[in-house]
């Protein structure tokens, strides 16, 4: 693992234009988004801005994915809210303090995991679990922001049914000013995403300008709605952001003081893993487009340091964001310099522009969040897995329902454990085929699918799975039952062409099987055993235990060796 990102060593002048433009475009998009995700997490807007300055810059210097744009993201913001709401009132100073502690823990967990090379753990969250979780989280986020859009006050709830219930009960208190401005913002944002690019092209705007202009739609919505509130003096008619402190945050060790660490560990673990998963998937996808490498462990350290910096610098937990990284990439980012420029833009905003956000309506931020997350909701993975692997579709639905009804971490945990359980169950009952000889060849095939020749005293059995503790006893029982049902059998040949490993329990089970078969007058042989497995079996005198049974190179060799001289003609199965 190296300490600094590669791009610092061999920066080339030709990278500069792309980096500058991408850095500016990302910054324009990030200003409203950061504040919106802070609001989603139950935090004051500046916390989101702070998280997009030094944490973003530190990842750019340390992380392994040069065009990844790091900062607050919607799903993590939701998990911060869900994890901390039981401990303090959202928006309160205690809540902000807890957020710093959470960022610190996330930073420590990710850094240590990276150093210990535990990045592989991310793979145990299956694709189905991740897509189901993000879709469900997006639904909760969108519904959770509706209260700002409608301008009503409802208590924080963690489950979607509770949220919908509270929203329906508050429909008589809808604030028409908030709803009106919110719908205006949504219209602008949706237009920016859908038709704006075509219209700009239609009126002859040069192509390089089109992406920056479309990505400025959120900023335009902020300026327009804030302007309306300021000019018409509506700030007492609807909820606005209010005073945002001016100036950069101080570096402080306050995050380490008076934290209920025990209550923070579980949310921190869940957020660390989910945050890294989102970021790594994105980083890898971008890197492969350029045939670049992403080192998951270096990436963990990069994200971990970014979160530690967030904790020491007044920010919220961060990770690599999907939508903003795509924008960064499309706008031409070549290296981490783009992110440094974005961070500088955010720093300037905090230094000089925060007074302008005084009259920014909360409904505008809610509109930003809703339009951003609604694209994440995607039922196609459910449809695909339904066709290919219904059990996976079951995991998808379980995770989705679990996140909506039980909560984010519970839903992910339920889905991940179920997926592992299904895998273990499947491998615990491997496919086992009795095979026979394809007439006139040296090939052996399943007697239930092919017309093949068999020998009465020889049973040829192929097991299609590595042997380990959870299937060893199953195989043992299965084979013992076979010889019980066919008392004329004298030789049982276990074909191991699909056996990639034999663990200690399976070995013990094989030794048991040899003894039990011997008790029953049957000799066990192996065939087509892979080289590394033979080496290990030889190292522990397995062959002495197997004797008089043998290990044959091929099934055909086993058949010709064991077939009694002048045996009766074969029977044909079909």
- Cβ at position 65, least distance to a second copy in Å: 13
Task: Please report how close the Cβ of residue 413 comes to a second copy at its closest, in angstroms.
Answer: 14
Q: Which stretch binds a second copy (CB under 8 A): 49-57, 108-116, 468-476, 555-563?
A: 468-476
383 interacts with a second copy by CB under 8 A: no
Task: Report if residue 320 touches a second copy, rule: CB under 8 A.
Answer: no
Angle between helices 261-289 and 296-312 (to 10 degrees): 130
65: its two tokens: 């994915």
Shortest Cβ distance from residue 350 to a second copy (Å)? 37
Residues between 410 and 429 that touch a second copy (CB under 8 A): 419-420, 423-429
Cβ nearer to a second copy, comparing 134 with 471:
471
Choose the stretch contacting a second copy; rule: CB under 8 A; options: 100-108, 316-324, 332-340, 512-520: 512-520
509 and 475 Cβ atoms separated by less than 8 Å: yes
Q: Is residue 535 close enough to count as binding a second copy by CB under 8 A?
A: no
Closest by Cα among 450, 447, 495, 504 to 472: 504
Shortest gap between Cβ of 192 and a second copy (angstroms)? 27
**Window contacting a second copy (CB under 8 A); options: 26-34, 74-82, 371-379, 493-501:** 493-501
Instruction: Check binding of 464 to a second copy (CB under 8 A).
Output: yes
Q: Of these, 44, 430, 436, 549, which contacts a second copy (CB under 8 A)?
A: 430
Question: Which residue from 396, 324, 287, 350 is spatially nearest to 7, judged by alpha carbons?
Answer: 287
474 binds a second copy (CB under 8 A): yes
- Exposure of 148 by Cβ count < 10 A (0-12 exposed, 13-18 middle, 19+ buried)? buried
Stretch near a second copy under the rule CB under 8 A, chosen from 118-126, 160-168, 552-560, 563-571: 118-126
Could you tell me if 496 and 463 are in contact, meaning their C-beta atoms sit under 8 angstroms apart? yes
By CB atoms closer than 10 A (0-12, 13-18, 19+), residue 504 is exposed
**Distance between CA atoms of 418 and 413, rounded to whole angstroms?**
8
Give Rg (Cα) of the chain: 31
Q: Exactly one of 392, 409, 455, 528 binds a second copy (CB under 8 A); which one? A: 392
* Residue 204 CB burial class (10 angstroms; 0-12, 13-18, ≥19): exposed
Question: Does residue number 501 form part of the binding site for a second copy (CB under 8 A)?
Answer: yes
Structure tokens at 122: 């991310």
Question: What are the φ and ψ backbone dihedral angles of 500, each rounded to 5 degrees?
Answer: -90, -15
Using the contact rule CB under 8 A, the part of the chain among 149-157, 265-273, 345-353, 461-469 near a second copy is 461-469
Give me the torsion for CA of 279, 424, 447, 524, rounded to 10°: 120
Q: Token digits for 160?
A: 């979607």
Closest-CA residue to 56 (of 23, 101, 9): 23
How many chain residues touch a second copy (CB under 8 A)?
69
Q: Is 128 in the site for a second copy (CB under 8 A)?
A: yes
Which of 238, 513 has the CB closer to a second copy? 513
Q: Which is nearer to a second copy, 236 or 544 (CB)?
A: 544
The one among 274, 303, 347, 472 contacting a second copy by CB under 8 A: 472
| Closest separation in Å from C-beta 402 to a second copy | 17
DSSP 3-state assignment of 420? helix
- Determine if 170 is a binding residue for a second copy (CB under 8 A): no
Complex with a second copy: residue 458 or 496, whichever CB lies closer = 496
Could you say whether residue 297 binds a second copy (CB under 8 A)?
A: no
Considering only residues 65, 99, 110, 126, which one is a binding residue for a second copy as defined by CB under 8 A?
126
Q: Checking phi first, is residue 452 left (phi over 0); if not, alpha (psi -120 to 50) or beta? A: beta
Span from 48-56, 82-90, 319-327, 533-541 in contact with a second copy (CB under 8 A): 533-541
* 118 in contact with a second copy (CB under 8 A): no
Check residue 289 for interaction with a second copy (CB under 8 A).
yes
Q: Is 384 in the site for a second copy (CB under 8 A)?
A: yes
Q: Is 1 in the site for a second copy (CB under 8 A)?
A: no
Exposure string for 453-471, b = 16+ CB within 10 A, e = fewer: bbbeebbbbbbebbbbebb
If binding is defined by CB under 8 A, does position 468 make contact with a second copy? yes
Sequence-distant (6+) residues with CB within 8 A of 8 are 61, 336
Distances, alpha carbon 217 to alpha carbons 108, 177, 182, 211, 533, in Å: 36, 21, 14, 10, 61
The pair phi, psi for residue 416, each rounded to 5°, is -65, -45
In angstroms, give the least distance from the CB of 281 to a second copy: 8
Q: Is 127 in the site for a second copy (CB under 8 A)?
A: yes
Structure tokens at 470: 């959870």
State the minimum distance, in angstroms, from the CB of residue 393 to a second copy: 8
Give the closest residue to 49 by CA, choosing from 27, 66, 68.
27
Name the segment binding a second copy (CB under 8 A); options: 32-40, 49-57, 186-194, 508-516. Answer: 508-516
Residues at the interface with a second copy (CB under 8 A): 120, 122-124, 126-128, 284-285, 288-289, 291-294, 296, 381, 384-385, 387-389, 392-393, 419-420, 423-431, 464-466, 468-474, 477, 480-481, 483-484, 487, 497-498, 500-501, 503-505, 507-509, 512, 516, 519-520, 530, 536, 539-540
């Amino acid at each position: 693992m190296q300490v600094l990102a590669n791009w610092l060593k061999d920066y080339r002048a030709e990278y500069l234009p792309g980096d500058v433009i991408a850095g500016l475009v990302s910054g324009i998009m990030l200003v409203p988004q950061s504040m919106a995700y802070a609001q989603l997490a139950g935090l004051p807007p500046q916390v989101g801005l702070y998280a997009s300055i030094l944490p973003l810059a530190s990842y750019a210097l340390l992380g392994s994915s040069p065009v990844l744009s790091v900062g607050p993201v919607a799903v993590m913001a939701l998990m911060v809210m869900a994890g901390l709401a039981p401990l303090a009132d959202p928006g309160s100073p205690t809540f902000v303090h807890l957020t710093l502690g959470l960022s610190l823990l996330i930073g420590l967990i990710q850094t240590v995991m990276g150093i210990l090379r535990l990045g592989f753990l991310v793979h145990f969250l299956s694709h189905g679990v991740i897509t189901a979780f993000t879709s469900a989280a997006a639904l909760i986020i969108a519904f959770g922001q509706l209260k700002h859009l409608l301008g009503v006050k409802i208590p924080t709830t963690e489950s979607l049914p509770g949220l919908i219930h509270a929203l329906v009960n508050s429909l008589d208190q809808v604030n028409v000013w908030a709803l009106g401005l919110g719908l205006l913002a949504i219209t602008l944002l949706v237009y920016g995403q859908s038709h704006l690019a075509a219209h700009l092209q239609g009126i002859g705007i040069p192509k390089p300008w089109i992406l920056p202009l479309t990505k400025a739609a959120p900023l335009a919505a902020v300026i327009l709605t804030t302007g309306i509130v300021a000019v018409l003096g509506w700030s007492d008619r609807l909820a606005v952001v209010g005073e945002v402190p001016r100036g950069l945050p101080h570096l402080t060790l306050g995050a380490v003081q008076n934290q209920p660490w025990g209550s923070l560990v579980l949310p921190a673990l869940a957020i660390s893993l989910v945050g890294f998963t989102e970021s790594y998937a994105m980083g890898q996808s971008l890197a492969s487009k350029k045939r670049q490498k992403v080192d998951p462990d270096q990436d963990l350290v990069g994200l971990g340091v970014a979160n530690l910096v967030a904790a020491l610098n007044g920010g919220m937990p961060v990770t690599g964001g999907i939508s903003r990284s795509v924008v960064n990439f499309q706008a031409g980012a070549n290296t981490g310099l783009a992110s440094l420029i974005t961070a500088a833009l955010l720093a300037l905003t905090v230094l000089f522009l925060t007074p302008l956000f005084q009259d920014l309506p909360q409904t505008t931020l809610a509109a930003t969040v809703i339009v951003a997350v609604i694209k994440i909701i995607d039922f196609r993975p459910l449809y695909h897995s339904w066709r290919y692997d219904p059990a996976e579709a079951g995991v998808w639905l379980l995770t989705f329902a679990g996140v909506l009804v039980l909560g984010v971490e519970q839903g992910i945990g339920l889905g991940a454990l179920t997926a592992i359980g299904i895998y273990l169950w499947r491998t615990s009952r491997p496919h086992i085929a009795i095979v026979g000889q394809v007439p006139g060849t040296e090939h052996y095939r399943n007697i239930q699918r092919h017309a093949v020749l068999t020998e009465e005293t020889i049973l040829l059995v192929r097991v299609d799975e590595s042997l380990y503790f959870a299937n060893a006893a199953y195989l043992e029982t299965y084979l013992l039952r076979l010889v019980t049902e066919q008392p004329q059998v004298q030789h049982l040949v276990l074909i191991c062409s699909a056996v990639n490993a034999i663990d200690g329990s399976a070995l013990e089970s094989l030794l048991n099987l040899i003894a039990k078969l011997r008790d029953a007058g049957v000799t066990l042989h192996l065939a087509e055993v892979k080289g590394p497995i033979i080496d290990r079996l030889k190292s522990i005198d397995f062959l002495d235990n197997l004797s008089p049974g043998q290990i044959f190179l091929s099934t055909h060799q086993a058949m010709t060796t064991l077939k009694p001289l002048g045996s009766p003609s074969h029977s044909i199965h079909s």
